């Protein structure tokens, strides 16, 4: 298979799983916002982080986010650390609608692949994503598990926070390790 055919398959797969034309009346951009805030860690639940992740302008991201706030899918919370900044959180209504996310058909398609192929496919897609992001000057979002900023807190007696983010100097729980982060730096050292 040639390179263009591979790229077309990846692009088409994303388009058909994006959620256009569903009865919930959300646009693909609105679905993308909801998915992002469902996956983002507490440091990345901002309009500007979403704009960077989705490769869109801050203005476009803000309009989409405001429409979801108006519809009751997102709410704003002032940051506890910095009262000037806000974090966006999903409402119960959003959590309910995400149970019917059209993207789940793509998740189910991945689930039927054998584990060894899933691992190889994930690594391949991560490499492709990293290459495209670097070529276009986009930030390489990822999760703590493969980030250079992840630090183990062996001396931490609090079992709830056995890790820390070296970038923010904040403790991390095990549950947060698989959330998407704006401060991600690829290539966690061994």
Give me the tens of pLDDT residue by residue for the chain, a chain 190 residues long: 888 888 888 888 888 877 655 556 888 889 999 999 999 998 899 999 999 988 899 999 999 999 999 999 999 988 776 677 789 999 999 999 898 888 888 889 899 999 999 989 888 887 888 888 889 888 777 888 888 999 987 655 556 678 999 998 889 988 889 898 888 888 765 4
Find the domain containing 139 and state its range. Answer: 113-181
61, part of any domain:
yes
CATH number at residue 56: 1.10.10.10
Give the list of residues 6+ apart from residue 126 with CB closer than 8 angstroms, or none: 142
Contact 171, 163 (CB under 8 A): yes
* 14: its two tokens: 């994303």
- Closest residue by Cα to residue 13 from 93, 128, 143: 128
Task: Write down which residue in 48, 73, 104 finishes a domain.
Answer: 104
Q: Note whether 98 and 117 are same-domain residues.
A: no
Q: Note whether 37 and 99 are same-domain residues.
A: yes
46, part of any domain:
yes
3-state secondary structure of 90: strand
Task: Please report the pLDDT score of residue 190 as a whole number.
Answer: 41
Strands across the sheet containing 150-152: 150-152, 163-165, 170-172
* Cα first-last separation, the chain: 35
Task: Write down which residue in 70, 104, 138 finishes a domain.
Answer: 104
Q: Note whether 46 and 138 are same-domain residues.
A: no
187, part of any domain:
no
Q: Note whether 63 and 154 are same-domain residues.
A: no
Contact 67, 30 (CB under 8 A): yes
Q: pTM for the whole thing?
A: 0.79
Task: Please report the pLDDT score of residue 114 as a whole number.
Answer: 94
Number of structural domains found in the chain = 2
- Between the alpha carbon of residue 6 and those of residues 12, 78, 129, 137, the distances in Å are 10, 43, 13, 22
166, part of any domain:
yes
């Amino acid at each position: 298979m040639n390179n263009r055919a591979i790229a077309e398959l990846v692009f088409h797969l994303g388009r058909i799983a994006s959620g256009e034309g569903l009865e919930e009346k959300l646009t693909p951009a609105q679905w993308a916002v909801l998915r992002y805030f469902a996956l983002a860690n507490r440091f990345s639940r901002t309009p500007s982080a979403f704009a960077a992740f989705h490769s869109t302008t801050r203005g476009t991201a803000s309009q989409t986010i405001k429409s979801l706030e108006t519809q009751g899918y997102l709410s704003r919370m002032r940051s506890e650390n910095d009262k000037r900044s806000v974090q966006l959180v999903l409402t119960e209504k959003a959590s309910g609608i995400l149970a019917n996310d059209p993207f789940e058909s793509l998740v189910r398609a991945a689930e039927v692949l054998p584990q060894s192929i899933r691992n190889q496919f994930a690594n391949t897609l991560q490499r492709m994503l990293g290459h495209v992001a670097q070529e276009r000057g986009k930030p390489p979002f990822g999760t703590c598990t493969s980030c250079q900023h992840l630090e183990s807190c062996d001396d931490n007696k609090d079992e709830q926070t056995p890790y820390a983010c070296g970038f923010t100097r904040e403790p991390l729980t095990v549950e947060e390790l698989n959330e998407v982060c704006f401060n991600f730096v690829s290539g966690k050292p061994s």
